[in-house]
């Protein structure tokens, strides 16, 4: 059997990739879930590098707050920031956003679409114990929302043709490491498995279009757990169930990644031309190795095995043992 290894990026806290070389900064970036977390951090970096950004978000309050802090960055670099309220679960909202952006920037082509909106939801971590009604908002945002954005924007991106610079138009859709491995059972993990499937089939559909879509490069982003506003248990309408941010604070205290870390990994992955951009914590058992085991289970038709838990779930007194385990695993590659 051929050994399968997915190369993952381990973020380095001492380095930061401010702008990917493969992106055309003279083009336009469109970012869903752009008012917080990964979306906001990406917006900030792109704007500071002189690239104009359109942020889409379901929360009017957070959208306006983001514009207040991002506008000075944009002005300093000569870029523009444009905000538009968009509920990705509604295809009409997504189409309206695409048309508003085209009207606001008639002379710019989109060179980066970050299909990033997502929620953790409140379904818990069980297949058997969580009512399907609690699954619906999670799938509405994470799966159907991602599809809605692809449907609303891709046709115009294909029709626009190649960028004047000759660089690719990059589309990144946010999945998760739980979209590749069985870390925790439940609706969120299942939704991210579905997002990964959407990304794979979208990439194949683009390839089947031939030359007319050859200028578009699709990617899926698979980040480890991160301490961002995502942890505030939002509903599909953006309402937070954890207004005080206690889960985010707990996640941060456990040593989870930050939005900075994940976007650093995203930008590096783009420059490495990775289709699956996997961003591991230094103390995660490498996702690539675990994927090899998962695929082996499928090929051998054996019962699925659970994934090794993420770094933030490793108790402090076990971290040294985890470091040694990773070192031994890598020594056998």
| Cα distances (Å, whole numbers) of residue 274 to 119, 220, 223, 268 | 25, 9, 14, 9
Span between the terminal Cα atoms of the chain, in Å: 16
The CATH architecture of the domain made up of 9-331 is 3-Layer(aba) Sandwich (3.40)
The pLDDT mean for the chain works out to 90
pLDDT value at residue 271: 97
What integer is the mean pLDDT of 188-217? 98
Instruction: Give the pLDDT score at 200.
Output: 98
Q: 11-15, 291-295, 309-313: which range is least confident on average?
A: 11-15
Q: What is the CA radius of gyration of the chain?
A: 19
Distance of alpha carbon 285 from alpha carbon 326, whole angstroms: 6
Tokens of residue 326, six digits: 């990773």
Token pair of 57 as six digits: 């978000």
CA-to-CA distance for 279 and 231, rounded, in angstroms? 18
Question: pLDDT tens across 296-313, in order?
Answer: 999 999 999 899 988 888
pLDDT for 4 equals 43
- What is the helix (H) or strand (E) element at residue 32, kind and residue range? strand 28-32
Q: Does the pLDDT of residue 248 top 70, yes or no?
A: no
Residue 316, pLDDT > 90, answer: no
Segment 101-116 mean pLDDT: 98
The answer on pLDDT for 11 being more than 60 is no
At residue 93, the pLDDT reads 98
Q: What is the mean pLDDT of residues 1-23?
A: 62
| C-alpha to C-alpha distance for 65 and 74, rounded to whole angstroms | 15
pTM, two decimal places: 0.91
pLDDT at 315 over 70: yes
Predicted local distance difference test score (pLDDT) of residue 231? 59
What are the tens digits of pLDDT across the range 70-86?
999 999 999 999 999 99
In this predicted structure, what is the pLDDT of residue 209? 98
The whole-angstrom separation of Cα 218 and Cα 116 is 13
**In the predicted structure, residue 171 carries a pLDDT above the cut 50:** yes
Collect contacts of 231-235 with beta carbons under 8 A, ≥24 apart: 231/120, 233/119, 233/120, 233/121, 233/122, 234/119, 234/120, 234/121, 235/119, 235/121, 235/122, 235/137
Position 177 confidence tier, pLDDT thresholds 50, 70, 90: very high
The confidence band for 13, taking pLDDT boundaries of 50, 70 and 90, is: very low
Q: What is the pLDDT of residue 98?
A: 98
At residue 247 the predicted structure's pLDDT band, cuts being 50, 70 and 90, is low
Joined together, the tokens standing for residue 294 give: 């998962």
């Amino acid at each position: 059997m051929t050994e399968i290894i997915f190369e993952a990026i381990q973020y380095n806290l001492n380095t930061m990739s401010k702008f990917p070389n493969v992106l055309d900064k003279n083009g336009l970036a469109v970012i869903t879930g752009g008012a917080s977390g990964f979306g906001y951090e990406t917006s900030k970096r792109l704007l500071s590098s002189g690239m104009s950004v359109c942020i889409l978000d379901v929360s009017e309050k957070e959208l306006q707050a983001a514009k207040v802090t991002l506008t000075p960055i944009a002005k300093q670099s000569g870029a523009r920031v444009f905000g538009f309220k968009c509920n990705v679960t509604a295809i009409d909202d997504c189409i309206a956003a695409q048309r508003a952006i085209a009207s606001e920037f008639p002379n710019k082509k989109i060179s980066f679409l970050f299909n990033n909106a997502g929620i953790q939801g409140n379904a818990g971590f069980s297949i058997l114990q969580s009512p399907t009604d609690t699954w619906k908002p999670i799938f509405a945002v994470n799966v159907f929302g991602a599809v809605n954005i692809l449907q609303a924007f891709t046709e115009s991106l294909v029709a626009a043709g190649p960028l004047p610079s000759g660089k690719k138009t990059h589309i990144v859709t946010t999945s998760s490491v739980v979209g590749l491995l069985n870390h925790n059972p439940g609706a969120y993990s299942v939704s991210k498995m579905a997002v990964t499937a959407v990304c794979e089939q979208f990439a194949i559909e683009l390839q089947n279009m031939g030359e007319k879509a050859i200028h578009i490069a699709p990617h899926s982003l698979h980040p480890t757990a991160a301490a961002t506003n995502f942890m505030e248990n939002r509903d599909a309408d953006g309402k937070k169930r954890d207004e005080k941010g206690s889960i985010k604070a707990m996640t941060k205290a456990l040593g989870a990644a930050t939005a900075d870390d994940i976007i650093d990994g995203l930008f590096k992955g783009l420059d490495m031309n990775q289709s699956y951009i996997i961003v591991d914590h230094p103390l995660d058992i490498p996702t690539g190795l675990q994927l090899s085991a998962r695929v082996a289970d499928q090929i051998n038709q054996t019962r699925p095995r659970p994934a090794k838990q993420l770094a933030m779930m490793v108790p402090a007194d076990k971290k040294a043992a985890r470091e040694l385990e990773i070192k031994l695993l890598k020594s056998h590659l």
